[in-house]
């Protein structure tokens, strides 16, 4: 879908989308459109339950006095509450509705109203951003899809102030990163595995991102026994990929992002049940988000030094697979007793986090992982779990998540939980031995491999894949975490 910008004016063809505010209030441009129809829009609203509340929709087909095919009214609520999320939803809902109606082109007409929470250019840019995000489809493997189920909307124009196009540029770069992350997470395990994932990341070089691939020989030389232990049951050898964007001051310590990349997770010898195992293709979502984030930072030319490290393995149960009871030596030198091979994400993150902090000495380090089913029990699919050794970093992440609609909830890390992973046979064991506080135990394990660097762990298992559409995210891979981390960088690390 091609997104364009134009000056605020009624289009001469296609569908027209108008925001409506609480109490059926139209903007000045909306009132002019209503006048051109002889008051048809107001009559349609008065004859329905449409009040202009958030996300309400009302379509008026073939309106009199206008050259457009239909007018779609979308509620955004009170102007003072109409922030970025509301206008993103406006754009996303418009995109979905126009596709559903079979429209080939459409225009969203946005002008100012008194008390609007956003500058007009930002409101228009957010609407375009929401439409772009909702337009995503992963359909490369569909060969028999009926024409009526395919999207029709080829061109969407946002008619607003001339500054809107400039405001959209940075958001478009982030959308590019989100689409890359969604693509990676959506790929099946027979297509995307450690070697092919690493090869795909090379495409970031075109964006100016440095890409370094560490193969199994290099990982053994580094002493990444925890990561290699997870991978040894698969015919697919492991990889660690290092990405560097150097947009900040030369020599300044970077901010680092580490992603769990289990391209398929059977559980290993501690085999998962068969029901739902097909979903385990997205156990690499943390890595996918890190890769997409690096593209977003590069394409918007972020003034920051950033490092992305992704640990890529496949967890399979062959005759060479790691066994429960095995003891492995991590890169840190600590030994790990593996009680459950399905608690593998924390094992690869142990080596990846240690490597990242040891090599790059970052000013902060954040890992993302679909780490535990327990976080879904605790928080469902609306919040991701946040664990951190640093209150300021935790507060910044939470605020960034709230601002972009990717919400976090902080859970504790204490000595009480840490003692539960002490091992009788090694330095640490990878589970506690009971089902209590499973997400905390996983985070507590990773913290054993983090020194004094400000660090946060985001458990995104419940929010990384959606079973239904939302205003700006079609069902499937969400790329949760990318927008909040981009916001974090922009607000606290860029140009600092």
Please, which residues bridge with residue 328 across strands? 336
> Which token pair is 220?
């053994």
* Dihedrals phi, psi of 49, to nearest 5 degrees: -90, 5
Residues 164 and 107 sit within 8 Å (Cβ to Cβ): no
Please, which residues bridge with residue 155 across strands? 2, 105
Exposure class string for 60-97: b at 16+ Cβ within 10 A, else e: beebeebebbbbbbbbbbbbeebbbbbbbbbbbbbbbb
SS3 content of the chain, % helix, strand, coil (to 5): 40, 20, 40
Residues 439 and 374 sit within 8 Å (Cβ to Cβ): yes
CA distance 486 to 401: 10
Among residues 295, 346, 429, 487, which one is catalytic? 346
Reported in sequence order, the residue ranges of 227-355 that DSSP labels E, i.e. its strands, are 239-246, 255-265, 305-315, 327-329, 335-337
Residues 341 and 429 sit within 8 Å (Cβ to Cβ): no
Among residues 53, 78, 137, 272, which one is catalytic? 272
At 472, is the secondary structure helix, strand, or coil?
coil
Active site includes 272? yes
User: Taken in order 305, 257, 395, 428, is the CA torsion positive or negative?
Assistant: negative
E strand or H helix at 386, and its extent? strand 383-388
Please, which residues bridge with residue 405 across strands? none
> Which token pair is 244?
């560097």
Reported in sequence order, the residue ranges of 110-209 that DSSP labels E, i.e. its strands, are 155-160
Active site includes 363? no
Residues 39 and 21 sit within 8 Å (Cβ to Cβ): no
Which DSSP state fits 15?
Answer: E
CA distance 179 to 337: 38
CA distance 406 to 420: 31
Please, which residues bridge with residue 384 across strands? 408
> Which token pair is 409?
């909830």
Residues with active-site annotation: 272, 346
């Amino acid at each position: 879908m091609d997104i364009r910008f134009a000056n605020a004016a009624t289009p001469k063809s296609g569908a027209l989308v108008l925001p409506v505010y609480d109490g059926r209030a139209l903007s000045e441009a909306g009132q002019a459109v209503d006048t051109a129809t002889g008051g048809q829009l107001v009559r349609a609203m008065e004859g329905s339950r449409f009040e202009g509340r958030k996300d309400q929709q009302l379509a008026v087909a073939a309106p009199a006095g206008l050259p457009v095919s239909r007018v779609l009214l979308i509620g955004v609520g009170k102007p003072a509450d109409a922030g970025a999320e509301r206008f993103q939803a406006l754009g996303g809902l418009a995109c979905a509705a126009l596709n559903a109606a079979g429209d080939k082109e459409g225009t969203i007409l946005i002008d100012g109203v008194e008390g609007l929470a956003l500058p007009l250019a930002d409101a228009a840019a957010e609407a375009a951003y929401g439409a772009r995000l909702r337009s995503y489809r992963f359909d490369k493997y569909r060969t028999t899809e009926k024409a009526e189920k395919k999207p029709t909307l080829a061109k969407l124009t946002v008619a607003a102030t001339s500054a809107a196009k400039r405001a959209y540029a940075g958001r478009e770069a982030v959308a590019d990163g989100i689409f890359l992350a969604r693509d990676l997470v959506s790929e099946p395990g027979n297509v995307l595995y450690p070697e092919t994932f690493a090869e795909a990341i090379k495409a970031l070089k075109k964006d100016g991102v440095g890409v370094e691939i560490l193969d199994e020989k290099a990982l053994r030389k580094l002493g990444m026994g925890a990561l290699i232990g997870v991978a040894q049951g698969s015919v697919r050898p492991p990889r660690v990929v290092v990405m560097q964007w150097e947009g900040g001051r030369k020599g300044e310590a970077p901010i680092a992002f580490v992603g769990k990349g289990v391209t398929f997770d059977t559980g290993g010898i501690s085999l998962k049940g068969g029901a739902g195992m097909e979903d385990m293709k997205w156990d690499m979502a943390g890595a996918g988000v890190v890769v997409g984030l690096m593209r977003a930072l590069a394409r918007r030319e972020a003034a920051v030094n950033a490092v992305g490290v992704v640990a890529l393995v496949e967890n399979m149960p062959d005759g060479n697979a790691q066994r429960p009871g095995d003891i492995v030596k991590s890169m840190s030198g600590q030994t790990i007793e593996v009680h459950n091979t399905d608690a593998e994400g924390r094992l690869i993150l142990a080596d990846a986090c240690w490597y990242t902090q040891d090599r790059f000495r970052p000013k902060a380090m954040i890992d993302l992982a679909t780490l535990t089913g327990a976080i879904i029990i605790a928080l469902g699919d609306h919040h991701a779990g946040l664990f951190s050794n640093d209150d300021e970093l935790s507060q910044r992440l939470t605020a960034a998540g709230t601002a972009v609609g990717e919400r976090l909830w902080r859970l504790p890390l204490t000595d009480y939980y840490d003692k539960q992973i002490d091992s009788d046979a090694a330095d640490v064991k990878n589970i506690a031995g009971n089902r209590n506080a499973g997400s905390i135990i996983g985070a507590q394990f990773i913290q054993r491999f983090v020194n004094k660097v400000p660090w946060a762990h985001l458990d995104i298992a419940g929010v990384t894949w959606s079973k239904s559409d939302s205003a700006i995210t079609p069902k499937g891979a969400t790329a949760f975490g990318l927008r909040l981390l981009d916001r974090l960088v922009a607000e606290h690390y860029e140009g600092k």
